[in-house]
Structure 1
Amino acid sequence: MNELAITVIGQDRPGIVADVAEVLAGVGANLTDSTMTRLRGHFAMTLVCTGPSAAEAEAALAPLAADGRLLATVRAVSGDSARAAVGEPYLMAVHGADRLGIVAAVTRVLAEAGGNVTDLTTRLTGPLYVLVAEVDLPPGTAGTLSQRLNEVAAGLGVVVTLRPAESDLL
């Protein structure tokens, strides 16, 4: 069975999710994982599905992108690309005044500790910048990592919190 990674982006409007889902269902694509959001008036969708070939999915999505308001891309991915979570799930939150480099700095600290970002969302609301991330951390690293994150956060003028994720919330 084919596994595809599909992205759709464009100016937000009602019906994009329905249009894309209907087109993909019409060619036998089963949506297995997805994330969809609106970012400052733009819609962004990333999904993984199984079923048709990449060429079939591209051809089916082409009419939705024909007027240039949406951009759809399709890429075949291997089914073995999904790996089991390694480590312990944590939630990280960062908030403070917006400034250049917040995401780069805190994710670099995570990467250096062997942490893996599994989901990350940011929002700018007026002068307040908020980052929320789900991360998998190597066992036993949370204490040291939290200390290092606090050091980096202080240099950025933001506050960071790191706490174990409750499995029923994920």
Structure 2
Amino acid sequence: MNKPNNQLVLSALGKDRPGIVDELSKAVFLLDCNISDSRMTVLGGEFAILLLVEGPWNQLARLESQIPELEKNLGLTIIARQTSDAATSEDAMPYLVEVVSLDNPGIVHKLANFFSKRNINIVDLATSSYAAPHTGTSMFAVQMNIGIPAGTAISELRDEFLEFCDSINLDAVLEPYKKQL
């Protein structure tokens, strides 16, 4: 499929149940549009989804007009926003950050603040809480993809980051992002 320039981001939230992804993807498919990127998860008892839909502008407009009906039929709150290709900085170097620690409030904020102060963009972020094997201790994991501005001394940044993580008792890794095959 040739990549159309017209894009729509759909965000939906509602009570989890089987069939939601089927119905949403069917609505997109029936309008000859394509889901080019997505994130879906269940948080507590709620289903959350983000979809980047591409297609002809008139079909995306039809999809937008179907939102009230989709909300009613699926029991979701849906928000749509037109968008365009992301402005990528060819000067940004993609890096992966992985952090594991005891579960404590404020970890995401502290990490976000560290990178924000250095003008480093967080491109993708996922977190999870889990019980440690054997002990059952409440643990917290963070994985994020970041864009480090060109010209940044990576070894200095890595040292600063690891020192920062040590100071708040986080086990962390900062390494070049490698696309999975």
TM norm structure 2: 0.80
- C-alpha displacement at 1:14, in angstroms? 1.5
* 1:2 equivalent among 2, 6, 9: 6
Q: In angstroms, what is the RMSD of aligned CA positions?
A: 2.3
Answer whether contact 1:105 1:152 (CA < 8 A) is retained: no
Q: Could you tell me which amino acid in structure 2 is paired with residue 71 of structure 1? A: T
Name the residue aligned to 1:87. 92
Structure 2: state its 5+ residue gaps.
132-137
Answer whether contact 1:113 1:145 (CA < 8 A) is retained: no
Name the residue aligned to 1:138. 149
Q: How does 1:89-104 map to 2 (within 5 A)?
A: 89-104=94-109
Name the residue aligned to 1:163. 175
**Shift >4 Å, 4+ stretches:** 52-55
Equivalent-residue separation in structure 1 for 2:39 and 2:90 (angstroms): 18
- C-alpha displacement at 1:68, in angstroms? 7.3
Structure 1 12/5 Cα, relative in aligned 2: closer, same or farther at 3 Å?
Answer: same
Count of residues in correspondence between the two structures: 168
Equivalent-residue separation in structure 1 for 2:141 and 2:108 (angstroms): 10
Name the residue aligned to 1:14. 18
Taking only the aligned residue pairs, the percentage that are identical comes to 27
Answer whether contact 1:58 1:73 (CA < 8 A) is retained: no
Equivalent-residue separation in structure 2 for 1:85 and 1:26 (angstroms): 36
* 1:44 equivalent among 36, 41, 48: 48
TM norm structure 1: 0.85
Structure 1: state its 5+ residue gaps.
none
